């Protein structure tokens, strides 16, 4: 099972490291990362493997939202099933 994590905000040093560290804390394994900096705005999408997650996905999502508020970022965590259901429409 996988989840998608999106991160948007002003570019600062260490965003990838902070989000990755939070993933590791819950055993969400980062599989793929795409990131861009457009002028001073940072945008990142991560695919994470959540089969070994040590908590419910909702708890990871809450932790990421809290990290986002602390770092002035918008961070969303979505299960890959959301995208699969959108594809079927």
- Tens place of pLDDT for every residue, the chain, 89 residues? 999 999 999 999 999 999 999 999 999 999 999 999 999 999 999 999 999 999 999 999 999 999 999 999 999 999 998 877 665 55
**Residue 28 in contact with residue 53, Cβ under 8 Å?**
yes
What pTM does this model have? 0.91
- Domain range list for the chain: 2-88
Burial profile 31-62: b = 16 or more Cβ within 10 angstroms, e = fewer: eeeeeeeeeeebebebebbbeebeeebeebbe
What number does CATH give the domain 2-88?
3.30.70.260
pLDDT at 82 (0 to 100):
80
Q: Which residues does residue 9 pair with via DSSP β-bridges, in sequence order?
A: 42, 73
Query: What was the pLDDT predicted at 87?
Result: 58
């Amino acid at each position: 099972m996988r989840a998608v994590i999106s991160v948007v905000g002003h570019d600062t040093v260490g965003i990838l490291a902070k989000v990755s560290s939070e993933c590791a804390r819950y055993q969400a394994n980062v599989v793929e990362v795409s990131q861009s900096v457009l002028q001073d705005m940072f945008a990142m999408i991560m695919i994470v493997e959540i089969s070994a997650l040590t908590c419910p996905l909702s708890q990871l999502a809450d932790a990421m939202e809290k990290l986002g508020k602390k770092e002035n970022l918008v961070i969303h965590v979505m299960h890959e099933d959301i995208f699969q259901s959108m594809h079927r429409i």
